[in-house]
Structure formats: C-alpha cells, structure tokens
Amino acid sequence: GCFKVLRTVFRSGRSFASNLGGVDDEMDTTSSSRPYVFPAFYRYPPYFTVQPVAETFQKQRELWSSLILSYCTHHKMHVIDVFDDGLELFRNREIERHLVVTEKRVFLDALEQDHNGRKGRWLTARETGAKGSDAVQKCFFLVLWRPLEESVLAWMDGNNECEDVMLLESLVEGLGMDGWTWGEGLVRGALEALERERRVKVFTHRNGGRKFLAVKKL
C-alpha cells in the first residue's frame, strides 16, 4: 500500500517527493527569499475539515486549490507527498489543525478535476518507481504551477532546439524529471495552444516508413 511504498522509494538518500522538488520542514524558510503569506481562511479551524454542505464545500475546495497552487509556486515545489505530516501547507501549528490524508486527497482531486489535469495530477506507480501497477494509490501529487506552454518553450530554448526539428516523444521525455513525465496528452494540448499563437509548428515527420509527430519553434 501507500505507506509501505512511501518508506521504500528513495533517490540518492532523499525521499522521492523531496528529490522531485518537494519541500520539507527545513526547506520552507530557505526556498524563497520572502516568507509565504497564508490566506485568511488558513487561520480558521473549520476549513481543515471537509464540509458536508455542498455550497460550503464548493467554496472550500476553491480556496484550497488556490492555496495549493500559490504555495507551490512560491516554493517552486513540484511534488506533494500526502503522507508528509510536517508540511505546513496542510498543517497550521498555531491553531493546531491539519488535514488528514483522506482530506488532502479530496482537495488534490479537486485541483486535478477543476483544471482538467493542467494544474496537477497524481503520479502513477510506474513514475514513482514502485513495483506493481497498484502499488501506489494517490500518494504523490504532481503540481503544475508553471504553465506547460512556458515549460515547452523554455526547454526548447535551453536545449538549443530553436532551429531544429524535434520529435514529440523526445520533447515529452525531455520535459520529464526523474521518471515522471507530463504525459503526451498534456504536451499535445500545450503544443496545440502554441501553434494557434504561431509560436511552434507541429507536423508529421517520416523516417524509415514510420510516421512521427515533430515540432519546430517559430
């Protein structure tokens, strides 16, 4: 299950989440020159319990989605480990309130659903390096705080691909990090948006009788 996998997945002596940009207690004050300012609702205990009334819950999920994105953007944090009980994002020590694992999943699910996966998604067992397709069930959440379109252009610039044709599969692989990828579907969507803005050109490339989708920056 999740708890067992959490204790066994490591990269170079650090936990999987920390290696992918997760923020632990000692990093919270050093990952940004400015301290993060939490919104007002973070100081009210009721917001740390999933509300049963639909209208109230809808407002609550919007507030938590906004907070998760804002916090992760500020700390340049890419991966949330739902079993990290020390992460201040979900634990307010001043009022002695925190979200339990099931509640974290509720609001992370909301973030994924409300933005159709463009702001965040759950990492799969294959991406975390766990054994078996069901070894990880909603343990690590990938936060996409930077627009994927920006990441595509930045990666192409950084890899001197501005003048060269790049295969879609190479772009998807290049945008990934330590085993996880954005997913071909999300990358295709970003390329379609960039193509509408006339910033890239997507076309079919043939090589040895096989067809590949290729990309060129304009």
Rg of the chain in Å (alpha carbons): 19
Q: Indicate if the pLDDT at residue 1 is higher than 70.
A: no
> How much is the pLDDT for 84?
93
Cα–Cα distance list, 103 to 84, 161, 168 (Å): 13, 43, 37
Average pLDDT over residues 40-53: 96
Average pLDDT over residues 135-150: 80
Residue 189, Ramachandran bin (φ over 0: left; ψ between -120 and 50: alpha; else beta): alpha
Among the residue ranges 66-70, 105-109, 133-137, the one predicted with the least confidence is: 133-137
Residue 183, Ramachandran bin (φ over 0: left; ψ between -120 and 50: alpha; else beta): left
pLDDT top residue among 63 and 197: 63
> How much is the pLDDT for 142?
87
Question: What value does the mean pLDDT of the chain take?
Answer: 77
User: pLDDT tier at 29 (50, 70, 90 boundaries)?
Assistant: very low
